[in-house]
A and B are shown apart, each in its own frame.
Chain A
């Protein structure tokens, strides 16, 4: 069977720009080498300025995204405000650590803009909730090795929203073309202070 993290395949990447952040994922869902669906997005909107990317075991991607939809709805009702990306990152971390000895097989990525400070925020996690804060980029999924290479080569600090979209998309598209378990198109979100742009990329269909 292999590792639960690589049974279904998938890739996700987030990057920081100047007063903006971007997050992107591929669309493949497979069982080992067989592709089951080519429309399985791995990015979930938490609110207007926070997004969660989940790669790994597809059943856990669905379970964990549902769990956070519930938790964030409860947060919004109790606090009467939206959750900030920093607070949400801690919620993800503690929720995953609750399952320390029987983890969800997912590698989450959080990207967003803090509406009070206006600062961009990205971070990644391992499956038991250890936070990886980064000021440049975060990668996850079966194409993570390829994504590290692409991001290391293409990334530069303080990109504007349009340049960030270009860099992020090229990094993802090139990375998934070298991974048999990822690809089949992509979703790319560019998040600014008061605007979010979602773009659908076709990508290679093979």
Chain B
């Protein structure tokens, strides 16, 4: 029941992940951070088999930073995404594939254009305006279909994120302990305190 959500707006990307670290039905930790900053302008959120997730995310983080140090360029989110995709596509045909699903959000270091990439453990990649992984897909994508527009401002983006979070609280049988939220814009990556009080009950 790990939740990953991504929403793009006119000049930003919101990446959110659930705070619960789970093992089967047991919640081991309620302040888990399933995101890594790859560079100054892109964030990756990950879910999947524990062990694989952090190992893979840190492999990608280190290689993205190494590439930028060697070549003196800041990689754009689409460039990072194609690198990650190729690593996952290599992995799926190996003896022990990484079981990791990802959302990669960021803004272009030159143009400031926001982009959000959806990737799964097979190496399937799609650039989309809003995305989710896991059960959140079934509850949130329909909400986002109705309310999302490419040119929404940050306040509206966060309102839509709140609607998604409420829907998950309302419908999922296990509490995912709130969301850890990061906002990427031209100014860089900011952590956003996403208030999580009160329960939401179905009608």
Q: A170 at the A/B interface (Cβ < 8 Å)?
A: no
Tally of contact residues, B, Cβ under 8 A: 19
Known: A59-B92, A62-B85, A62-B89. A8 touches B124 (CB 8 A): yes
Whether B124 and A59, one on each chain, are in contact in the complex, defined by CB atoms closer than 8 angstroms, is yes
- Which residues from 154 to 175 on chain A have a C-beta closer than 8 Å to any C-beta of chain B? none
Q: Is B70 an interface residue (CB 8 A)?
A: no
B124 proximity list for chain A (CB < 8 A): 8, 29, 31, 36, 58-59, 62
Mostly, the B contact residues are: mixed
Query: For residue A8, which residue of chain B has the nearest CB?
Result: B124
Q: How far, in Å, is A60 (CB) from chain B's closest CB?
A: 8
A63 interface residue (CB < 8 Å to B): yes
Asked if A153 is an interface residue, CB under 8 A from chain B, the answer is: no
Minimal Cβ-Cβ distance residue in A for B120: A31
List A residues 11-55 near B (Cβ within 8 Å). Answer: 29, 31, 34, 36-37, 39-40
Given contacts A59-B89, A102-B93, contact A34 B126 (CB under 8 A): no
- Grouping DSSP codes into helix (H, G, I), strand (E, B) and loop, the A interface class, with mixed when no group exceeds half, is mixed
Chain A residues whose C-beta falls within 8 Å of the C-beta of B85 in the assembled complex: 59, 62
Task: Closest B residue to A61 by CB, please name it.
Answer: B124
Contacts of A58 in B (CB 8 A): 122, 124-125
Interchain CB contact (< 8 A) of A29 among B88, B92, B126, B137: B126
Residues of A within 8 A of B92 (CB): 59
Instruction: Assess the A57–B122 pair: CB atoms within 8 A.
Output: yes
> B16 to chain A: closest CB distance in Å?
18
Query: Which of A8, A34, A37, A62 is in CB contact (< 8 Å) with B128?
Result: A37
